[in-house]
Copies of this chain bind each other. A is one copy, B any other.
Amino acid sequence: MSSSRRYILTLSCPDRVGIVAAVSSLIANNNGWISEAHHHSDQIERRFFTRQEILADSLDFPVEELRRRFEPIAAQFKMDWKIQDTSRKTKVVILVSKGGHCLYDLLSRWKSQELAIEIAGVISNHEVFKGLVEWHGIPYFYVPVTPKSKAAACQQMMDHFETVEGNVMVLARYMQILPQEMCDRYSGRIINIHHSFLPSFIGAKPYHQAYARGVKLIGATCHYVTEDLDCGPIIDQDVLRIDHSDSPRDLARCGKDIEKTVLARGLRYHIEDRVMLHKNKTIVFR
């Protein structure tokens, strides 16, 4: 049963008495079976967040009808809400540069169906991974970027993203700063992996920055991209112990292991609708 079709309800609203009662009564009255539920009351913001998985087969009507029946409650409690159907796979477009560790990792997780995604395309400013990606039957879009061509290149990337009907863009160590227009247009839909434990070491060469400061752990941070470089809402982070014997090159090598793991974890949370955004922070219902 654990792998069967589900409807994922996520919502947030001002906190008050009766929200869960209203939501769970509606579901129960329609014979809906809740297989997983998480709640969060932000006591400073006075806002309530919940994510609930309902077994699709337990309802005798389609998801559109569930949405229709949910609308009055949503209106009553002033909810931001959505109901997703797990039978529709998220279309992911991966952006990559010359480093392949995250790309290989995502291909492996997709191929083994560990990640329930469709890789709709890979966009790169280099041709290095064209063969590998196309061998996997995935379209490869080569979009070179020079300081002069940047605006046009970004337009091209957005066109490719739209053409393949991408849902989420994954910057798998893409190494280029995206223009504000793109960040705004796909707000909450672009996921980046930054190779530091943010907010430390924003920007270029974070492993060199970490080496210079003499930290004893290095990190990686998966976050949503906003126009402020490396300042978007954090989805997940992890760290790795290092010591004085590690050169910047060593940090870059061993850091890859957490980069790919944290990126994949963040992406999984995103596609399973486990991440809720509020201001510049995330609620992650693992």
Residues on A lying within 8 angstroms of B by beta carbon are 1-3, 17-18, 20-22, 24-25, 27-29, 31-44, 58, 99-101, 104-105, 107-109, 111-112, 114, 131-132, 135, 197-201, 213-217, 219, 233-239, 241, 243-245, 247, 249, 253, 256-257, 261, 264, 280-284, 286
A111 to B247, CA, bound (A): 22
Distance in Å: Cβ of A251 to nearest Cβ of chain B: 12
Pick the contact of A28: B1, B18, B101 (CB < 8 A): B18
Structural contact, A217 and B245, CB atoms closer than 8 A: no
Structural contact, B111 and A108, CB atoms closer than 8 A: no
A219 to B197, CA, bound (A): 11
Given contacts A17-B58, A21-B21, A244-B40, contact A114 B256 (CB under 8 A): yes
Structural contact, A244 and B41, CB atoms closer than 8 A: no
**Which B residues are CB-close (under 8 A) to A256?**
114
Dominant secondary structure of chain A at its interface with chain B: mixed
A146 to B250, CA, bound (A): 44
Structural contact, A36 and B41, CB atoms closer than 8 A: yes
- Can you report 27 residue pairs joining A to B where beta carbons are below 8 Å apart? A1-B43, A2-B43, A17-B31, A17-B32, A17-B58, A20-B20, A20-B37, A21-B24, A21-B27, A36-B39, A36-B41, A44-B247, A101-B114, A104-B107, A131-B135, A135-B135, A197-B239, A199-B200, A200-B200, A213-B234, A213-B281, A214-B281, A215-B237, A216-B236, A241-B241, A257-B261, A261-B261
A31 to B21, CA, bound (A): 11
Pick the contact of A284: B132, B215, B244 (CB < 8 A): B244
Pick the contact of A34: B3, B41, B247, B249 (CB < 8 A): B41
Structural contact, A216 and B237, CB atoms closer than 8 A: yes
**Which B residues are CB-close (under 8 A) to A197?**
197, 200, 217, 239
Structural contact, A282 and B35, CB atoms closer than 8 A: no
A251 to B245, CA, bound (A): 24
